[in-house]
Amino acid sequence: MAIDISKSSWGSDLNDFIEANSISDTGWVTDGITMENGWATDTTGDPIEFRILTFGNSKLMFISGWIYVTQAVAANASVSVAQFPAQAKIGTTAFGTANTKSALGQFGITSDGVLNYTLHGSGTLAANDGIWLSVMILDQ
């Protein structure tokens, strides 16, 4: 909804800008996320969830929650963790890392809505190791 400032000489330009750049918010969403390749999420306290803010042609996506592996992940491996629903398919580089024990890795989401995790270095994730996931993704 535009702010009516029609009595000023620059009112229509500002109203046009506000209409074109309004922000929409999905709120936190847990529905439609499918865990893959032996990854699981906390089903009671802090499940994996996402939120998308859309402003103009840009989207800002947040992913948050507790996830864990049910089988070991080797060093220098990349594995898909979860498939997100269609609305989350924004597909750009993720800003965020995860750190558990001696293992340091990075999350990223593809244009198909698949969340990937790459484990760097010589560390490994053992079965039942958990990661608190907090990722921000910008699509312009």
Residue 14 lies in a domain: no
Residue with tokens 């499918």, as numbered in its chain = 34
Tally of CB atoms within 10 A around 79: 18
The range of the structural domain enclosing residue 135 comes to: 23-139
CATH number of the domain where residue 40 is located? 2.60.40.2460
88 in a domain, yes or no? yes
Q: Is the dihedral of CA 33, 137, 114, 85 positive or negative?
A: positive
Tokens of residue 84, six digits: 């997100």
Indicate whether 84 belongs to any domain.
Answer: yes
Q: Tens-of-pLDDT digits for all 140 residues of the chain?
A: 455 555 555 556 666 776 777 788 889 999 999 999 889 988 777 899 999 888 877 888 888 898 888 888 776 677 888 888 877 766 555 554 444 433 567 777 777 788 888 777 766 778 888 888 888 877 76
* Distance separating alpha carbons of residues 66 and 41, to the nearest angstrom: 6
β-strand pairing of 103-109 with 39-41? unpaired
Q: Of 50, 47, 69, which is closest to residue 60 (Cα–Cα)?
A: 50
